[in-house]
Structure 1
Amino acid sequence: MRIKLKIVTIIIVSLITVNLKAQDESSHEIGLIYGSASFTTDYGERNHLKSNVAGNVGPGFGAVYYLNFTDYRYRWNQRTSYWAEHFRVRAELSYMSAKLDHFGQWAEDLSTNGGALLRAHHGKTYLLNIGAQLEFHWVDIVDFGSRRIPDLKWSPYVSAGAFVDFYDPSITSDLGNWRDPGILYPKWDPNNFPKATRVTPAITMSATLGIGTRRKLGYYSDLLIESRWQYFFSNYVDGLNNKFAPEDKYNDWLLWIHVGYIYYLN
């Protein structure tokens, strides 16, 4: 926990320092984002389409702030550096949630008790993200932001970042109290593996990679379209983690596809 808080402090101090140093030549934006997050967790079968993409999906929304290292709104003709004209920092506060179910051949097996246990087993997780990303734009930020080139309407980019994540998972079963013996599938049964389930709120960190684009809407606003992969440094985001199960190899992760509205402050 102390290490995570130190990392968060370093990120925040770094952003403040960069902002203070660049405030004479910087520009700022704010926005709102909304979309759907597909959770890939210990619920469901690995490499199964519905488990990894189409099944365990929930809504996500958030607020974003951008720091640009150049004042493109009022001094677009004063060229700066390649860094200032192609990179921007994005800070974000976002919230996601999803209902989680088991899919795949083992859950769909109607002839075994294990299949019945998996079908009756449900989960839910809530996630709050706080962090920052660095974006690289192929299109010159000054040219795009100043609106001085009428035909320049799109600004594609890639991003990478780090987040602190507050998560709160829960577990239920249609067969009764999931903590009772024989209610969950054997590898998740807390009576067999006490550490296989954890439904207390906790904090972890995550790394992100994204690809997206901006589309001009007006002189002071853009449309944002983005897809982002987020990998957690914990395997308990969904409340399940059995390190003794050979198939339980990876931490939880998600893919978030969203749109947003960005407004230029200056």
Structure 2
Amino acid sequence: MLNLKHLAYAFCMFVIAQTVNAQLGFSHEIGVIAGPVQFRSDFGSRNEGETNFGNMGIGVGIIHYINFSYRADCNCYTTDTYFNDHFKLRNEISWNKTKLNHLGQWVGPDNITPDADRLRAQSGVAKNLDIGTQIEFFPLSIRSFQAFGYRFAPFASLGVHYTFTSPEAYTTYGNGNVYDETNIYSFWYFDDSRLPPVPSGEVRQYPIDDSQFSLWSIVSSVGVRYKLDKLSDLMLDVRWQYYFSDWVDGLNHELSFNKKNDWLVWVNIGYIYYLD
């Protein structure tokens, strides 16, 4: 399967990165993360609380840190520089899945039109496998945190992920074929004042596509670590991830209030263990 190939590739890259950086004398940390994901997509309206909180999924991941403040080869601290004492490099393999439905005002009980029925009948799944790197900034001293100078260490990060996405699209309306235009919301496909005009001689793009593809995304987060003992930390992390595509959920209907690319918010809790 395609995803198994991606996982094998990700694992190989992870091992290579560990091996290369170990030769540089830095120390390493490894951990696991998990938590709820709020996926913002073309399902429902972006600014509706019912849609945003109703379309929530789960994310899990394995993370690896390069710790510049400590040397694995001599079991000693590195040169005391600002970078070594305030930055870490975070490598990650993660996966998230969110079931998606149309919620909010367009499918409320007062809407009894065929189009409202089409929206209620349609659902989807956003599934994403991520491989990426982030640079994490700790405003407090990493050395002091490791030496129990304080229990909490806040941080912020910024990085780039390569994402393998496998969206799914379904409908129970009509004959159950989501690629039959009579089964989907009519304003997505046919000309309407809320849609941008189609150039002369061209046909509007069909708004559903559940093909697998890959793309880049930007990841930013803020969080805090809590020192459990000499070799382990707990972590709370709130992530914002922006995809450079509007097809990650398999839906791109181009209505004016949902024209932004897909993105998500992920609140995760992690456990981190110091290898060296």
The answer, yes or no, to whether TM exceeds 0.5 is: yes
Kindly report which structure 2 residues correspond to 1:117-266, keeping only aligned pairs within 5 A, or say none: 117-147=118-148, 149=149, 152-175=150-173, 176-189=176-189, 193-243=204-254, 245-266=255-276
Amino acid at match of 1:66: Y
User: How big is each residue's C-alpha offset from its partner over 1:196-226, in whole Å with a ceiling of 9 and x where there is no partner?
Assistant: 1111100011001100010011210000100
3-state DSSP class of the match of 1:143? helix
User: How big is each residue's C-alpha offset from its partner over 1:41-65, in whole Å with a ceiling of 9 and x where there is no partner?
Assistant: 000112101222x111111101000
Is contact 1:92–1:129 with CA below 8 Å preserved after alignment?
A: yes
Kindly report the root-mean-square deviation, in angstroms, between the aligned alpha carbons of the 2 structures: 2.5
Structure 1 stretches of 4+ with a deviation exceeding 4 A read 19-22
Q: Post-superposition shift, 1:21?
A: 9.2
Is contact 1:193–1:242 with CA below 8 Å preserved after alignment?
A: no
TM-score w.r.t. structure 2 length?
Answer: 0.82
3-state DSSP class of the match of 2:107? helix
Amino acid at match of 1:237: V
Is contact 2:45–2:257 with CA below 8 Å preserved after alignment?
A: no
* Correspondence for 1:69: 68
Matches of 1:254 and 1:197, distance apart in 2? 20
How many pairs align? Answer: 247
Matches of 1:162 and 1:46, distance apart in 2? 24
3-state DSSP class of the match of 1:46? coil
Matches of 1:161 and 1:61, distance apart in 2? 18
Amino acid at match of 2:223: G
* Correspondence for 2:95: 95
Amino acid at match of 1:63: I
* Correspondence for 2:7: none
Q: Does 1:55 align with 2:54?
A: yes
Matches of 1:22 and 1:210, distance apart in 2? 29
3-state DSSP class of the match of 1:90? strand
Go from structure 1 to structure 2 and tell me whether the alpha carbon gap of 1:173 and 1:21 turns closer, same or farther (over 3 Å shift): closer
Kindly report which structure 2 residues correspond to 1:20-59, keeping only aligned pairs within 5 A, or say none: 20=21, 23-24=24-25, 26-52=26-52, 54-59=53-58
Ranges in structure 2 where 5+ consecutive residues have no aligned partner: 1-12, 191-202
* Correspondence for 1:116: 117
